[in-house]
Amino acid sequence: MKSHTAYLWINTDKRYEIVHITNQVEEELKKSGVKEGLCLVNAMHITASVFINDNESGLHKDYLKWLEELAPFSKDGYNHNLTGEDNGDAHLKRTIMGREVVVAITNGKLDFGPWERIFYGEFDGRRRKRILIKIIGE
Ligand code: ZN
């Protein structure tokens, strides 16, 4: 069995941002040489997500608006922020949007459904964070 591990570093300009990372994942898949297998992609931080959906900018704005309604930024509105942090909202946003995705690899390609693409969701940005890409198979 082949195995390939890569770390992708992201540092967003904004506190909240959705970043398209499908191309970077496909590059790692090429490097791996795997034709049949599985590709795991996960955020390595508890205030960021990796998820799959449509590469459509209106939808990305809708996500950020919806998340802000569910878990609005608030310096003193979260118990977590009693620790001195201000990112209580980001932990909740991360939970809603998920930690990781797994995509099947078929014939050397990510076997997506129609319009599926991979995104990194940042909810407490402006600092360097890592994404893990792990590819296994033959
Ligand atoms: Zn925190």
Given this model, what pLDDT does residue 43 score? 98
DSSP 67-134: HHHHS---SSS-GGGGGT-S-HHHHHHHHHH-SEEEEEEETTEE-PPTT-EEEEEESS-SS-EEEEEE
CA of 46 from ligand 1 middle (Å) equals 8
Conformation bin of residue 84: beta by default, left when phi > 0, alpha when psi is -120 to 50: left
| Domains detected in the chain | 2-137 (2.60.120.460)
Q: Report how far ligand 1's centroid is from the alpha carbon of 88 (Å).
A: 6
Burial (Cβ within 10 Å: 0-12, 13-18, ≥19) of residue 56? exposed
Distance 83 CA to ligand 1 centre (A): 8
| Cα(99) to centroid(ligand 1), Å | 15
- Model pLDDT for residues 3-57, shown as the tens digit of each residue: 999 999 999 999 999 999 999 999 999 999 999 999 999 999 999 999 999 999 9
pLDDT digits (tens, 9 = 90+) for 73-111: 999 999 999 999 999 999 999 999 999 999 999 999 999
Q: What is the distance in A from the centroid of ligand 1 to the CA of 2?
A: 36
Predicted TM-score (pTM) above 0.95: yes
CA atoms within 13 A on the CB side of 20: 12
Cβ distance 25 to 118 under 8 Å?
yes
Q: Residue 42 and residue 45: Cα distance in Å, rounded?
A: 9
- The alpha carbon of 132 and the centre of ligand 1 are apart by a number of angstroms equal to 20
How many Å lie between the centroid of ligand 1 and the Cα of residue 90?
Answer: 7
